[in-house]
Amino acid sequence: MMLQWRIFHTLCSAGREAPKSLKAGLLFPHVLSCGHRFVWHRTKTSLPDSRERTLIAVKPDGVQRRLVGQIIQRFEQRGFRLVGLKMLQASEDLLSEHYCQLRSKPFFPILLQYMTSGPVVAMVWEGHNVVKTSRTMVGHTNPAEAQAGTVRGDFSTHVSRNVVHASDSVEGAQREIHLWFQAKDLLDWDSWDQMSTSDVTTSSAS
């Protein structure tokens, strides 16, 4: 590791651009190939639910009010990974399935009307405890009861226009993700800040 650092330092002080692989290896030692003489051993234990996923959807009022960017920013900033995203005009059939537990509610027809009134931005977010944490971030169903600082608490006033959807359980999230996305449209990827946000990592050099 010391040798890599010296080479990097020498190249930089000579005004030369260090090879990308060396830079990457210094910043992210685990990316160095195993054939390299200096291998950074990393024992990583991801928290069991660090791959938990949830469905978040910006509802038609959120899209119309151009809140998509701010909502995405909150989830990125919190440390979650975006693994799927699409904008669509949701059909009544999809929404009827999505909200199947609410079919008997008196507000069901106006809910369908609201949710089909314009495009929706559907997203899948991943990370440690994402289902529970995102429900907290989104806030109470009724914006009048939602805490300031939550999406609904900051951007809405009435239950019939509450800007965003978030799955309410891990099982519910799996069902909803399957409804809104095909498996091929979801990406498995590792974010570079993962070890600072959700992985339990111990490292040693040899």
Which residue in the list 36, 128, 165, 178 is annotated as catalytic?
Answer: 165
3-state SS class at 104: coil
Helix (H) or strand (E) holding 40: strand 40-46
Name the binder of 192 from Mg ion, ligand IDP, none, CB < 5-8 A by kind: none
Helix (H) or strand (E) holding 132: helix 130-138
Name the binder of 159 from Mg ion, ligand IDP, none, CB < 5-8 A by kind: ligand IDP
Q: From the list 165, 173, 177, 194, which residue makes contact with ligand IDP (rule: CB under 6 A)?
A: 165
Per the annotation, the verdict on 128 as an active-site residue is no
- Residue number, 107 or 192, with CB nearest to ligand IDP: 107
- From 155, 157, 136, 167, select the one nearest 53 (Cα to Cα): 167
3-state SS class at 166: strand
CB 123 within 8 A of CB 57: yes
- From 116, 63, 99, 105, select the one nearest 176 (Cα to Cα): 99
- Residue 198 lies near ligand IDP (rule: CB under 6 A): no
Q: How many CA atoms lie within 13 A of 146 on its CB side?
A: 24
Q: What Cα–Cα distance (Å) separates residue 166 from each residue in 16, 135, 136, 169?
A: 49, 6, 10, 9
Binding mask 154-183 for Mg ion (x = CB under 5 A): --------------x---------------
- Residue 133 lies near ligand IDP (rule: CB under 6 A): no
Binding mask 134-163 for ligand IDP (x = CB under 6 A): -------x-----------------xx-x-
- Residue 168 lies near ligand IDP (rule: CB under 6 A): yes
The residue ranges that bind Mg ion (CB under 5 A) are 168
The residue ranges that bind ligand IDP (CB under 6 A) are 102, 107, 111, 141, 159-160, 162, 165, 168
> Would you please indicate which residues are annotated as catalytic (active-site) residues?
165
